Structure 1
């Protein structure tokens, strides 16, 4: 699917527009995972053919673009960038999809400006803030990226991001994931880690979400296991839950066909 690389102010983004023959459905905003960038969503850009304007903001950027430092970037920083981008593009509301870190960002956007969201897709994410042991792990990763750069983080994260089936039988997905992650600067990785560490717990806001919501998780996800998605599903009234077989933390890459079918069905029937 053809897409364009664009920028509004400091924020870069990828965009795929629907063909003129398609009935306009509105905007679908895709928020990427850590330690990746907007290119992780390329398998979903084909949804533009169904009438959706795909907008994938790029948060894997150096801190200078965010007018911040790696130690001051927060989820609210990113949420503010999304709001500024949507305003600049004259998008009044959108279906917002977030995978992993992108889900945490979606919660930050919801807390700050719920009027921008008319539908929500939460993929392989959770509402809880980091537990103490997770915070310690992130501190170690901050030191790792400072000492050895992005490649060291990629080596540590890739086995955790992909399900066992993908690691054993889909080498092309492993290679693609590494390529995307390695294109992320060490400064951007550090900024994302800081934002992850300081994010707010979102459990209390789940019951207030009343727009259509789809929750997707791979059944081999060990970072945010299906039980966490089931917990969110129970807390968000009217939400849908899809557990994708033989996929890990990134089902949109690991099994893009199944993922896209689930998302398209949700968009067609619920939005």
Structure 2
């Protein structure tokens, strides 16, 4: 069986390691794209499309899901399957913008890594995993690799993103929605909304997982994504 070309898009402050434990290599030719190359969602989406084959399956987590929805807006004919993991289709809220502006100020004042350690980690992962040194270390390492400038690009992109809810009904390709049951960043009701508004969508809820489901429950996410890729 020919392998499916698969583009994977990480979330904010994440790199290819977000996906490294998701076992898809026997089913797909996998490419993980950089999601910090521009400071708008459209700009990042266009950079992904420049790297992608003519037709491909697409999966994104969080920021990666937002970028995936933008790709569905500007080039839906190129996407054969879509997976949205822990994704929020809503426009940014005023309190979110205020928080992101504060993080940009902190990053520019030499406190970039403090943001991940002290502000993001407590809400990103399931409470039971907060003392998991290997997991915490990986998250911090990814943030260091993305770096301050990449992070600021990502924050500017999400601060200016548009409401993506109006495009959902036009998505025609087979779509899987996946959510960590204990996700505090993108609560399950957001994934339920996606399921209800995308015509060909299914929903997978991953138990005992926060926002970074691919790192927290890789075996469960792998099983769900293999089913999605195989069409079973």
Note whether the superposition's TM-score is higher than 0.5: yes
Q: Which has the higher contact order (CA 8 A, sep 6+)?
A: 2
Query: 8 Å contact 1:166–1:246 — kept in the other structure?
Result: no
Query: 8 Å contact 1:129–1:200 — kept in the other structure?
Result: yes
- 2:32 paired residue among 43, 53, 56: 56
Q: TM-score, normalised by structure 2?
A: 0.95
Hey, which bits of structure 1, 4+ residues long, moved more than 6 A?
A: none
Q: Which of 1 and 2 has greater Rg?
A: 1
Partners of 1:162 and 1:48 lie apart in 2 by 26
Partner of 1:37: 15
- 1:199 paired residue among 144, 151, 161: 161
Bigger drift between 128-137 and 148-157 goes to: 148-157
Q: TM-score, normalised by structure 1?
A: 0.82
Runs of at least 5 residues in structure 2 that lack an aligned partner in the other structure:
none
1:149-160 matches, cutoff 5 A: 149-155=111-117, 156-160=119-123
Deviations 1:120-170 (A, max 9, x none): 1000011101111111111111111111243122122122111112225x3
Partners of 1:215 and 1:166 lie apart in 2 by 23
Alignment partner of 1:47 is 2:24: yes
How much has 1:174 moved relative to structure 2? 1.8
Partners of 2:142 and 2:96 lie apart in 1 by 24
Partners of 1:238 and 1:76 lie apart in 2 by 24
Partners of 2:32 and 2:111 lie apart in 1 by 25
How much has 1:24 moved relative to structure 2? 1.6
Partners of 1:267 and 1:249 lie apart in 2 by 22
Deviations 1:238-258 (A, max 9, x none): 311011011000110001011
Bigger drift between 242-251 and 107-116 goes to: 107-116
**RMSD of aligned alpha carbons:** 1.4
Query: 8 Å contact 1:149–1:186 — kept in the other structure?
Result: no
- 2:103 paired residue among 141, 150, 166: 141
